[in-house]
Amino acid sequence: MAVAEVPVADTLGRPVRDLRISVTDRCQFRCTYCMPREVFGRDFAFLPREQLLSFEELTRVARIFAGLGVRKLRLTGGEPLLRRDLDKLVAMLAGVEGIQDIALTTNGALLGRQAGALAAAGLGRVTVSLDSLDDAVFMALNDAGFPVARVLEGIAAAAAAGLAPVKVNMVVKRGVNERSILPMAEHFRYSGHVLRFIEYMDVGTTNGWRLDDVVPAAEIISLIGGRWPVEPVEPGYRGEVARRYRYRDGGGEIGLIASVSQPFCRGCTRARLSADGTLYTCLFGAAGHDLRGPLRAGATDQALRDQISSIWMNRADRYSEQRTRHTVRTPQPKPKVEMSRIGG
């Protein structure tokens, strides 16, 4: 019997519409802005398998969230394609009543061999991280010797499997890859895919973030618009984080995610579930809420629903709006959950 939907909203009137599910904390890349090798080295202790939520547990949580108003799911990591049989999870989630969209964020390394199975299982969209077309720059960023060509092959495989348009995310860090902005824009013009530029964010505490390293979205769009004129596009839905632009010559669309310079907290409808079953209500959260314990202790669906509803209704997060006052000028920022645990 279907469970009636009872939507919830937080203290700022924001409903919960999106759930990002991390399926693993592991990744084969060591991107300097996410999992720097000096921290996530050979001896780093990743989660043992028994601490990861099972596919059945993840599906149960997704079903409860759907009853609270969630319509979109995104699978993240770490690198989600490292989780064995991920297509089986996609198929299970696709069967959850109320879920209208299932997406995946990946580094693209394993996408070429898995795209077809994922699409067949019910995956609707895919986002691929690619920070430069220059192998030297890209390899320095991923710190794993992984070439650009393999990521491009993964994007092509996703498109061939029907997962187009692919969204391509480029994190821009000053002094590292800002010279790759125009080459990336040129490459993905007329490709049918959507390139999105992301301001370098202070997620977690291990990436050495400094405000001086941020290339503001206004600077990026000015650079691109100076080469190929663009015009703004209206948001597609409430809570859309990317500011959208299209090329006036019909070359397609780009997006800018400007969490630092143009915060979008007031429209945030996202909850995040880590691979070990911890619920976070903000990407920059310092602490989460344990769901794995109740799940494995025999909590009923109603008890879990009540717990999640209470967490969301008490939510007041707006970190990015407060960043300038409370973070940039603070010598010792408050500890925050690492992006590798909740997928960005």
pLDDT of residue 329: 47
Residue ranges making up the domain that contains 68: 18-342
Between CA 23 and CA 114 the distance in angstroms is 16
Per the domain annotation, does 13 fall within a domain? no
pLDDT of residue 323: 65
Per the domain annotation, does 111 fall within a domain? yes
Per the domain annotation, does 6 fall within a domain? no
pTM (predicted TM-score): 0.92
For residue 1, pLDDT beyond 60: no
Per the domain annotation, does 4 fall within a domain? no
Q: Give me the number of domains the chain comprises.
A: 1
Per the domain annotation, does 47 fall within a domain? yes
Residue-wise pLDDT tens digits, 276-313: 999 999 887 778 999 999 999 999 999 999 999 999 99
Taking residues 25-43, report their average pLDDT. Answer: 91
Per the domain annotation, does 9 fall within a domain? no
Per the domain annotation, does 310 fall within a domain? yes
pLDDT of residue 260: 82
Residue-wise pLDDT tens digits, 210-242: 778 899 999 999 999 999 999 999 887 776 788
Per the domain annotation, does 95 fall within a domain? yes
CATH of the domain at 325: 3.20.20.70
